[in-house]
Amino acid sequence: MRIEAVNENTCIVYLGDEIGDQSAERVRWAFDRISSELADVLTDLVPSYTSILVSYEIDRIDRFGIKARIEAALCDISDEPTDQSTAAEILLPVYYGAEVALDLEAISAHAKLDMDEVVSIHSQNLYRVYAIGFSPGFAYLGQVDSRIAMPRKSTPRKRVPAGSLGIADTQTAIYPSVSPGGWQIIGRTPCKMIDLTSDSLARVAVGDRVRFQSISRDEYLALGGNFDEF
């Protein structure tokens, strides 16, 4: 673990060097610890793949104090749970039909697999939320099975419909709102990923485990799914 100053009210805690489940678990664990034990001095936390950016009230604590308190909060970091038993597991329904899976054909051609196989491989994995960013609620999940991994589109779409589920290399993500984007779209969820009017706000947090459940067109519609282009 490394703690480095960034500016007068921000430092960054590095918890690993590689993207993966182990880093995600460490980040989730440390995020919970820091947010509960340093609540009196924190202004914001930004967990990501291998790090947590920590912003604090400079009138309450200085660069020495924040470092000492983070170290104390994470002192038993080597004893962190490794069985992932405390991370939430979230089931997300996804419709993989051609109307919404805008790039399924392309992925299938790239992977040299049938479209059904691509869907089956994608929906079998248990994923981890590695980071949230790009836009509110945009969650980066890994790892996508290497058989269906595919680079981003060379020309991004100007508008990707909300709820779209995409693949970029070995990561997969859901667009929580309409936005430009270059991920290869494989399906769409009827679920709202972020709802600023609800108390829970976002459906997933960094470190959560996510499983996609393939649903039929009827189920998709029954859950409030739509075929709006935008």
Partner 1 sequence: MSFEVVKPGLLALLQDSGRQGFQHLGVTSGGPMDEQAFYLANKLLNNQPKAAQIEITFGMLSLRAQADCVVALTGADLGASINGESIEPWQRYKLQSGDLLDFGSPVKGLRAYLAVVGGFIVEPTLGSCATVAREGLGGLDGKGSKLIAGDILNFDQGAQPLSLDSLSWSIPNVLIPDYTKPIDLGVILAYQHESFSCVEMSKLFSTEYKVTQNIDRMGYRLSGSAIRSSLNGVISEGIACGAIQIPADGQPIVLMKDRQTIGGYPKIGCLTVLGVGRLSQTGPGSVVRFHPIDIAQAEAERMLFNTALATPA
Dist. CA 190–CA 92, nearest whole Å = 9
Out of 29, 38, 51, 102, which residue is the one contacting partner 1 (CB under 8 A)?
51
40-59 burial, b if ≥16 CB within 10 A, otherwise e? ebbeebbbbbbbbebbbeee
Q: What is the C-alpha to C-alpha distance for residues 185 and 194, in angstroms, rounded to an integer?
A: 19
4 in contact with partner 1 (CB under 8 A): yes
Contact residue for partner 1 among 24, 30, 73, 131 (CB under 8 A)? 131
Rule CB under 8 A: is residue 223 a binding residue for partner 1?
no
The CA distance from 170 to 116, in Å, is 19
Secondary structure of residue 98 in the 3-state scheme: coil
Q: Which of 21, 37, 41, 55 binds partner 1 (CB under 8 A)?
A: 55
Q: Rounded to 5 degrees, what are φ and ψ at 138?
A: -75, 110
Query: According to the binding rule CB under 8 A, does residue 194 interact with partner 1?
Result: yes
Q: How many residues bind partner 1 (CB under 8 A)?
A: 41
Tell whether residue 6 is a contact of partner 1 (CB under 8 A): yes
Residue 215 binds partner 1, judged by CB under 8 A: no
Angle between helices 115-124 and 104-111 (to 10 degrees): 90
Q: Interface with partner 1 includes 108 (CB under 8 A)?
A: no
Decide: is 175 part of the binding site for partner 1 (CB under 8 A): no
71 versus 99: smaller Cβ distance to partner 1? 71
Stretches 55-63, 74-82, 92-100, 118-126: which one binds partner 1 (CB under 8 A)? 55-63
Can you read off the two tokens belonging to residue 178? 């309409």
Under a CB-based contact definition with an 8 Å cutoff, are residues 171 and 85 in contact? no
Q: Which residues bind partner 1 (CB under 8 A)?
A: 4-10, 12, 19, 31, 43-53, 55, 58-59, 62-63, 131-138, 140, 194, 196, 201-202, 205-206
